[in-house]
Chains A and B, each alone.
Chain A
Amino acid sequence: MALAFPFSAIVGQDEMKRAILIAAVDPSVGGVLVLGDRGTGKSTAVRALAALLPKMKATVGCRYACDPAAPAGACAECDALKAGGKKVKSHLVPVPVVDLPLGATEDRVVGALDLERALTAGVKAFEPGLLARAHRGFLYVDEVNLLEDHLVDLLIDVAASGENVVEREGLSVRHPARFVLVGSGNPEEGELRPQLLDRFGLSVEVSTPTVLADRIEVVKRRDAFERDPQGFTGRWHAEDERVRRRILKARDRVAGIDVPDAVLERAARLCMALGTDGLRGELTLMRAARALAALEGDTVVGDTHLRRVAPSALRHRLRRDPLDDTGTGARVERVVAEQIPS
């Protein structure tokens, strides 16, 4: 695996970085969609995530890398291990960031019969697919808008249920697959189906920095990285380490953060004013605001948090008006300014 560009060395793109950090703190936010022009560092940021995330505890011998503290009944492999009577061991594994290549076949995504064992030993065994590998981690789909329809259906289903059910080739397997869906793409190349759009918790739009100094800095850093990956990553290590600690602390804190009723009410008002469909908007707004508060060391969610996460949490949930020139992001910001006066 080649070295990833350091997360903290990415110039600008604050909204994207914030959304990714929020998803890292609270995976229940429901994934991040990054839409924007080419050459704006979309894939760079997501791949940088891999290097950034702290390692997690996993049960030894479970192919789905389950949390040893997970309740019984969630994973057949863990249950079998525990039923064996021996003490279950655990080890630290890096948080998986799994790439879903566009051309992947369904059997590789959901898992399939283990060919090797079927041919050599004549045993029907299940070989986990990409969804299993992404459990407790991130599933990254580049050019998500070009993904084939049947794969999109599948992702939607699994992302919603947190469980992958395989009924094929005479196999009948179910295993946990709770992952954060991270998609990136260029809306010019095709639009996302509304169902999939809704599945993403946060949606950010990225564009090229307009300030010349920023652009120069982008090119300089990228060039320095490409000429000496090791040295460059080393120089940014301390900075990345700080971000990592921030994530860890925020994860510890996020459950204890208070969301006052007044803030909840404001969130609801905001969603009503924007006319978002369903309650997913409010939920995401609340969770994202809480994660942001945790990241910033606050104990109570306030308007400042709400205001900053509202565009990411809501912009992809608005009914689209095909003839409206203004982006949906601008509409959200307008309503936010009305509803939450600073």
Chain B
Amino acid sequence: MAVADPIAPAAAPPADDLSAVDPVVLRWADALRAAALLAVDPWGFGGVALKAGHGPVRERWLTVLRALVPPESPWRRIPIHAGDERLLGGLDLTATLAAGRPVAQSGLLAEADGGLLLLAMAERVPGTTASRLCAALDTGECTLARDGLASSRPARFGVVALDEGVGDDPPPAGALLERLAFRIDLAEVPVGVADVFGAPSDEGAGPGADAAAVAAARLRIGAVQADDATVQALCATAAALGVSSARAPLMALRAARAAAALDGRDRVSPDDVSLAARLVLAPRATQWPAPPDATPPEPPPPEEPPESKADEPPPADSEDDAEPEPQQPLDEVVLDAAKAAIPPGLLASLMLAANAAAGSGAGRAGVMRATRLRGRPAGTRPGTPRDGARLALVDTLRAAAPWQPLRRREAEQARAAQAAHEPVPPRTASAARAAAAAASAASATASAAASGATAAAATPTAPPRLALRASDLRVARLRERTETTTIFAIDASGSSALHRLAEAKGAVELLLADCYVRRDRVAVIAFRGRAAEVLLPPTRSLVRAKRSLAGLPGGGGTPLASGIDAVAGLADGVARRGGSPVLVFLTDGRANVARDGSGGRARADQDARDAARRLRVAGHATLLLDTSPQPAASARTLAADMAAAYVPLPRADAASIAAPVRAATGLGARRPPGRAR
């Protein structure tokens, strides 16, 4: 049994030795396996987060998946700005008007029942959309409670979240990711690999799975047995990898069952468990498993490159492990399999992603400020289109539509009363004025609605085509991002550390408290030694900011240019996402490490000034705190180069340092370069 070598059966097609160990091929093979498992039970697995740019590789994978699920099962795509009425369903306006009674319209979630739902640009999907998907994944139902309709329809679907994020783009909403069993990264899989393995014509695309096998597995999976050792192995592996959610081992268990079912077996084998751990648990790892106590002489695993992992463990050894006592070794074997699936650097990026998720998640609730004039539409609210608020025509009509028969009757009664007694001022007059105002505020399309109403006002005897009242008017709610991200760049080099690092830390802590009050996000970059390091990506967690600061050691050279570059990169990222960065440098401005890491004061200085001028072009609000013992020319020149407000750090306690900084950042405006206080 190739227990400890779970990757070997990966490339069932032309698998020569070279390709069998190529990590890219393995990744593609695993992606195909995940597709097959997902096809067995889309709702049970929740779905897959597919990180890949738009391109032939992603299309190929989707084609494979499409071919695996039964052809009649739904396959729907959610566009990024799909509103609630498309997701959950709602009132079908046209049909309602035509029928004269409320007609419900089904939403995408209910339509996708039993199939798969493709979520385009998952990394940019608004939190509300993600929460709708989560609710459906949890309950298997789509509960509708809007527009006067209330219903509940089955919505058991799997989600394919197409994550097109690159670089430091935040990952899709954490709540959604949590509910998707698989995470696949196809970003680095070249087209050639995808072409060779898993072309649709290829017999047995990937792990010997085709539509027939999937169909058989769907029937079989209910009967597949998993013993306690399996559950234990998966739980232990999850714990060792720092996966805290109980959903992860549960989904891994499901994956193991599905793998056995695909293989036509009724019992879960160690191979299935390894595969499940690799596909479900490894991508969620937040820590590298501690080396087992039993084998202290073994080198710690982190240094082990995964490609050597595949052929390193001697098969004989693993057989010895697996057969005599299946309990204990299974844990280890599974853990090994999971470890092998963690490529170097993934863990770091995962941590980063988790951080970003925490930050941006918090942001979603807080940073989007409701505005009236500009921004992205975010639903509508009742109100009149005054002060620049825009009329939401369709929603206004929707609000008015159900009332028409009632109003017509009221109008008739009013007319009858009018005929009997003396003329009463028509009630619709004020509404007509409001509607006219609405029409002038909105585009020409609104005039149709208004003309109906004005016609009613002008000739009260003729029945109005559309009785529109002030209470029907809906205006668009718009939201706009206005968050500020304060990026602290701290010079922790020897020269600074010697003088003022502790004071600078104190000042930053006070500023952090200010950031908390303003609900800003903060990021911390430190530069010392050879390069700059992002200690903390933008986050709202001030506790973490404080912690990262407290643990910052001092010493080494001053790679000022790298520091400025790192800040510029981070600031650009913030600005790209619609935030406004505020940069705070704490440095003495004395560079002695050039951008390429080499020493030499002259070159380092030149590099730093270049970087500073480039930063100036970006035009972010910048502040430079001079941390040298006396206000120094070098820091002042640098501040001038980057068009930063220059504040010498006075020799005083942290509280008095913070005051000028507070004034400068609080304004958020750029000061004339070089104007010292």
Contact = CB atoms under 8 A, between A and B. Distances in A.
A220 interface: yes
Interface stretch (A20-28, A101-109, A293-301): A101-109
B311 to A, nearest CB: 31
Interface stretch (B138-146, B294-302, B616-624): B138-146
Interface in A126-150: 127, 130, 142-143, 145-146, 149-150
A119 B128 contact: no
B222 interface: yes
Contacts of B357: 188
Contacts of B509: 323
A41 B134 CA distance: 14
A218 B174 contact: no
Interface string B483-520: 00000000000000000000000000100110010000
Contacts, number: 169
Given A188-B174, A219-B246, A325-B543, A127 B148 contact: yes
Given A188-B362, A223-B250, A119 B150 contact: no
Interface-central residue, B87, B173, B543, by most chain A CB under 10 Å: B543
Nearest to A102: B131
Interface in A190-243: 190-191, 207-208, 212, 215-216, 218-220, 222-223, 227
Given A119-B100, A215-B235, A108 B148 contact: yes
A323 B174 CA distance: 25
B102 A215 contact: no
A122 B411 CA distance: 12
A323 B512 contact: yes
Interface stretch (B8-16, B19-27, B400-408, B527-535): B400-408
Contacts of B134: 143
Interface string B525-564: 0000000000000000011001100000000000000000
B471 A119 contact: no
A328 to B, nearest CB: 12
Interface stretch (A57-65, A87-95, A110-118, A247-255): A110-118
B138 A43 contact: yes
Interface stretch (A32-40, A71-79, A273-281, A305-313): A32-40
B101 interface: yes
B143 A101 contact: yes
A262 interface: no
A112 B361 CA distance: 33
Interface-central residue, A2, A118, A170, A227, by most chain B CB under 10 Å: A118
B88 interface: yes
A8 B224 CA distance: 27
A197 B122 CA distance: 31
B409 interface: yes
Contacts of A261: none
Interface residues of B, number: 69
Contacts of A41: 246
B635 to A, nearest CB: 28
A204 to B, nearest CB: 17
A219 B245 contact: no
A112 B148 contact: yes
Interface string A169-191: 11000000000000000101111
Contact of B101 (A43, A116, A212): A116
Interface stretch (B63-71, B236-244, B274-282, B641-649): B236-244
B464 interface: no
A145 to B, nearest CB: 6
A37 B366 CA distance: 20
Contact of A219 (B138, B249, B362, B381): B249
B253 interface: yes
A212 B231 CA distance: 11
Nearest to B83: A103
Contacts of A188: 174, 357-358, 361-362
Contacts of A103: 84, 87-88, 128, 132, 145-146
Contact of A215 (B135, B226, B246, B547): B246
Given A39-B245, A146-B131, A188-B174, A119 B543 contact: no
B405 A190 contact: no
Contact of A169 (B175, B471, B547): B471
B236 A212 contact: yes
B178 interface: yes
Interface in B558-602: none
B508 to A, nearest CB: 11
Contact of B178 (A39, A104, A190): A39
Contacts of A322: 512-513, 516, 542-543
Interface-central residue, B146, B236, B405, B512, by most chain A CB under 10 Å: B146
Main secondary structure of the interface of B (DSSP, over half): helix
A186 B148 contact: no
A323 B542 contact: yes
A122 B101 contact: no
A245 interface: no
B250 A118 contact: no
B236 A105 contact: no
A120 interface: yes
Interface string B246-267: 1111100100000000000000
A99 interface: yes
Contacts of A130: 145
B350 to A, nearest CB: 15
A105 B516 contact: no
Contact of B365 (A40, A119, A169, A190): A190
A219 B148 contact: no
Contacts of A325: 543, 546-547
B251 to A, nearest CB: 10
B409 A122 contact: yes
B232 interface: yes
A105 B143 CA distance: 13
A127 to B, nearest CB: 7
Contacts of A40: 245-246
Interface-central residue, A108, A109, A168, A189, by most chain B CB under 10 Å: A189
A334 interface: no
Contacts of B247: 38-39
B381 A150 contact: yes
B174 A189 contact: yes
Given A103-B128, A119-B405, A122-B405, A215 B100 contact: no
Interface string B91-103: 0000000001110
A49 to B, nearest CB: 15
Contacts of B101: 115-116, 119-120
Contacts of B386: none
A55 interface: no
Contacts of A207: 244
A317 to B, nearest CB: 19
B232 to A, nearest CB: 5
A124 B407 CA distance: 11
B139 A113 contact: no
Given A127-B148, A219-B246, A323-B512, A190 B361 contact: yes
B127 interface: yes
B148 A107 contact: yes
Interface-central residue, B236, B381, B402, by most chain A CB under 10 Å: B402
A189 B127 contact: yes
A120 B409 CA distance: 12
Contacts of A146: 127-128, 131, 364-365
28 contacts: A2-B139, A38-B245, A103-B87, A103-B132, A105-B146, A107-B148, A108-B145, A122-B406, A127-B148, A146-B364, A150-B381, A188-B361, A188-B362, A189-B127, A208-B246, A212-B236, A215-B246, A216-B232, A218-B246, A219-B231, A222-B246, A223-B253, A227-B222, A322-B543, A323-B509, A323-B516, A323-B543, A324-B543
Given A170-B471, A215-B246, 7 more contacts: A39-B244, A105-B146, A108-B147, A188-B362, A189-B175, A207-B244, A325-B543
User: Which 9 A-B pairs have CB atoms at the shortest separation, nearest pair first?
Assistant: A190-B365, A39-B245, A322-B516, A39-B247, A189-B361, A208-B244, A108-B145, A105-B146, A38-B178
